[in-house]
Amino acid sequence: MNIASKPENTPDAAMTTDFYSPYHHFSADEWAKFRADTPLTLTADEVSRLRSLDDPINLDEVRRIYLSLSRLLSTHVEASQLLYQQRNRFLSLSNVTKTPFIIGIAGSVAVGKSTTARILKELLARWPASPKVDLITTDGFLYPNAVLNRESLMERKGFPESYDIGAILRFLSAIKAGEPNVRAPRYSHLTYDVLPDEFTLVDRPDILIFEGINVLQSRALPADGKIVPIVSDFFDFSIYIDADEDQIHSWYVQRFMKLRETAFRDPTSFFKKYAAIDADAARAVAEGLWENINLKNLRQNILPTRPRADLILRKGRDHFIETVSLRKL
């Protein structure tokens, strides 16, 4: 196990050791041992159904990384449910509704958040404390393209100002208040826009997974100096998916080139024109989107939120997770 030990009492050791890091760091193999006897309840077919385009995740990776993770998260869920019951007894409260445990998942565009979120959803639902797990992505809270165009924000899609943060905070407040049938707006990658009047209902799940590039971001203080809540105030646990910038860049471009062969061929696809041009021209478009939007956003607004996460999953080549960092309690 790679938990840092107390440093020798020398200036050099104190400078270089991990002792002062807020995280325990584990290699994937060390982490895998924490699954203990957690059974593997997913089949290879289910894993391939859950993974996103171009994500090579397989049963081995679920066994290596996700069983321990679901076991850890399940202990957090059980502990929070116990605390909730004890507190209600303490306050002599009865008939209070249980509120969902909220897990935030952050990371760059194209890093593979959706696959992680979907695998966790399935695994967590198999634990007795959390049979009902819902998953919401933050893209539904983007302003519609009509608004982004009007405000000259189309080149800033995914940046903090392109989201209706007030709507996100109202949504999460309602969830944490235990309200039934809370509406989450929906987004389509096909039309590249919010789907007007389409909502997903979130009805008091045991766990809500809330996934998106922006979920660990704070906001600049408003001019009136009022302290405002931030999205992660509502989280019981947060995960950041990390990888080298160069890796994510190549995953983004590769995915774009694959989408050209698939989703972009749909006549309703916003990107259909890129299915019709030659591969070099399409690659140049993908490079431009990466460079001018997603990379800038990663550097300016996403990566700086990594230290806020309770857990960091760091991927190496081919999307496989190489290290897991867990915040010390």
Ligand X SMILES: Nc1ncnc2c1ncn2[C@@H]1O[C@H](COP(=O)(O)OP(=O)(O)O)[C@@H](O)[C@H]1O
Ligand Y SMILES: CC(C)(COP(=O)(O)O)[C@@H](O)C(=O)NCCC(=O)O
Phi-psi category of 36—alpha, beta or left, where left has phi over 0 and alpha has psi -120 to 50?
left
Contact window for ligand Y (CB under 6 A) among 207-215, 232-240, 243-251, 306-314 = 207-215
Q: Binders of ligand Y among 140-199, rule CB under 6 A?
A: 157-158
Q: Which is nearer to ligand X, 38 or 116 (CB)?
A: 116
CB of 108 vs ligand X, minimal distance in Å: 7
Tokens 């790679």 locate to 2
CB of 263 vs ligand X, minimal distance in Å: 4
User: Contact 164/141 with Cβ under 8 angstroms?
Assistant: yes
With CB under 5 to 8 Å by kind, the binding choice for 52 among ligand Y, ligand X, none is ligand X
114 annotated as ligand-binding? yes
Return the closest-CA partner of residue 216 out of 104, 125, 124.
104
CB of 295 vs ligand Y, minimal distance in Å: 10
With CB under 5 to 8 Å by kind, the binding choice for 294 among ligand X, ligand Y, none is ligand Y
Q: Which is nearer to ligand Y, 72 or 202 (CB)?
A: 202
109 annotated as ligand-binding? yes
Q: What is the contact mask toward ligand X in residues 40 to 79, using x (rule: CB under 6 A)? A: ------------xx--------------------------
Contact window for ligand Y (CB under 6 A) among 11-19, 53-61, 66-74, 136-144 = 136-144
**Separation between Cα atoms, residue 229 and residue 233, nearest integer Å:** 7
> Helices marked H in the chain — which ranges?
11-16, 28-32, 44-50, 59-61, 67-90, 113-124, 145-150, 165-176, 245-261, 273-276, 279-289, 295-297
Structure tokens at 66: 């996700």
Return the closest-CA partner of residue 107 out of 303, 286, 297, 299.
303
3-state secondary structure of 236: coil
108 annotated as ligand-binding? yes
Contact window for ligand Y (CB under 6 A) among 77-85, 117-125, 143-151, 210-218 = 210-218
Q: Which is nearer to ligand Y, 184 or 213 (CB)?
A: 213
**Separation between Cα atoms, residue 235 and residue 76, nearest integer Å:** 12
Contact window for ligand X (CB under 6 A) among 18-26, 86-94, 103-111, 223-231 = 103-111
Q: Binders of ligand X among 111-150, rule CB under 6 A?
A: 111-114
* Helical pair 245-261 and 279-289, crossing angle rounded to 10 deg: 140
Three-class SS of 94-156: CCCCCCCEEEEEEECCCCCHHHHHHHHHHHHCCCCCCCCEEEEEHHHHECCHHHHHHCCCHHH
Q: Check the CA dihedral 307-309-311-315 and report its sign.
A: negative
Is residue 273 a contact residue for ligand X (CB under 6 A)?
A: no
With CB under 5 to 8 Å by kind, the binding choice for 289 among ligand X, ligand Y, none is ligand Y
Is residue 242 a contact residue for ligand Y (CB under 6 A)?
A: no
CB of 267 vs ligand Y, minimal distance in Å: 19
Is residue 208 a contact residue for ligand Y (CB under 6 A)?
A: no
Element (H, E) at 327: strand 321-327
Is residue 255 a contact residue for ligand Y (CB under 6 A)?
A: no
User: Contact 192/271 with Cβ under 8 angstroms?
Assistant: yes
- Which segments are annotated as binding site for ATP? 107-114
Binding region for ligand X (CB under 6 A)? 52-53, 107, 109-114, 189, 259, 263, 271
- Which segments are annotated as binding site? 107-114
Binding region for ligand Y (CB under 6 A)? 109, 137-139, 157-158, 212-214, 289, 293-294
